[in-house]
Amino acid sequence: MQSMTGFGSCELEVKPFGKICVELRSSNHKFLETVFHLSEGLLSLEDKVKKEIESKIKRGRVTCAINIWGVKSSQVIINKPLLRDYLVSLNGIKKQFRLNDGMSINTLIHLPGVLSLEENAVSRAKIWPKLKTVVGRALNDLADTRKKEGASIQGALKNWADLLNANIGAVKTRFKKAIADKLQSKDTDEERSSFLKDSDITEEVQRLSFHIRNFKSKLAKIGPIGKELDFIAQEMQREANTMGAKSFDSGVSARVVQIKSTIEKIREQVQNIE
């Protein structure tokens, strides 16, 4: 069982690109949603990273941040052919008009088109194998944190399911005595039949017991089970509500209140499960 909440990261020095850092954060969501914050030059690799995430994460909102440090983002480019043309033209003007002014380097580099900055584009083909490794390690780290929290939630859910069983057992015992006492006070079969129709919770108890067994069996299942557990918890709550509405005995009602409270805790926690 995995929680949908977790954090994973990995940093790796990769020559000649520099240090690659991948951070992954996940939180609750009905489906799988990925949000990216990528360094300039990595946008074209978003689909590849997304597929890596989808291969290991099935549900949750995952925010992926990837940064690269230590690589030069730009380099100086001198247009030497253009500079040569400038010098030829300027020297020709000097000779023609007999000028003695010298040309400094500061003057030359400020001539239009001589000096420029060129961005270093990250090579997609070269960096992807390295980036894939870093993303994979960050995903493993994320999965570990989700599993640890998932194990904690699983333990709590098992305890609550056992508590439900205990309260169901108490309801059965109390109801059996309460219904027998109540039926004795009825004078006719018609009165007894009418009372049972409105107050008998035997079927609800049986269905709730079935849902609890089903819930506990699903807890041992491998893979995403959050949606299944949420559905079962909804069905448990439905039966508990009906039991509460039918109850005529204060002792049964008190147990049903405890049952409903436990189911609410279960429903709240299963929202965190993948």
In the chain, what are the helix, strand and coil shares in percent, each to the nearest 5?
A: 60, 20, 20
Distances in Å between the alpha carbon of 245 and those of 25, 73, 184, 240, 262? 43, 69, 22, 9, 17
- pLDDT greater than 80 at residue 203: yes
pLDDT at 125 over 90: no
Q: Are residues 171 and 222 in the same domain?
A: yes
| Contact indicator for 53, 64 with CB cutoff of 8 Å | yes
Domain that holds residue 136: 6-72+123-145
| The predicted structure's pLDDT at residue 241 | 95
Distance CA 125, CA 118 (A): 20
- Is 1 a member of any domain? no
Asked whether the predicted pLDDT for residue 72 surpasses 80, the reply is no
Residues 256 and 172 reside in one and the same domain: yes
CA quadruple 12, 13, 15, 17: dihedral sign = positive
Whole-number pLDDT of residue 74 = 52
Residue 83 forms part of a structural domain: yes
Task: Return the exposure string of 22-46: e unless at least 16 CB atoms fall within 10 Å of the residue's CB, then b.
Answer: bbbbbeeeeebebebebbebbeebe
Within this chain, do residues 192 and 129 fall inside the same structural domain, yes or no? no
pLDDT in tens, 211-252: 999 999 999 898 899 999 999 999 999 999 999 998 888 999
Are 127 and 114 members of one domain? no
| pLDDT above 70 as % of the chain | 93
Query: For the residues 41-49, what does the mean pLDDT come to?
Result: 88
Give the predicted TM-score (pTM) of the model: 0.71
Mean residue pLDDT of the chain comes to 88
Please check whether residues 112 and 12 belong to one and the same domain.
Answer: no
* Better pLDDT: 73 or 270: 270
Q: How many domains does the chain have?
A: 3
- The mean pLDDT of 252-263, rounded to a whole number, is 95
Residue 63 has pLDDT above 80, yes or no: yes
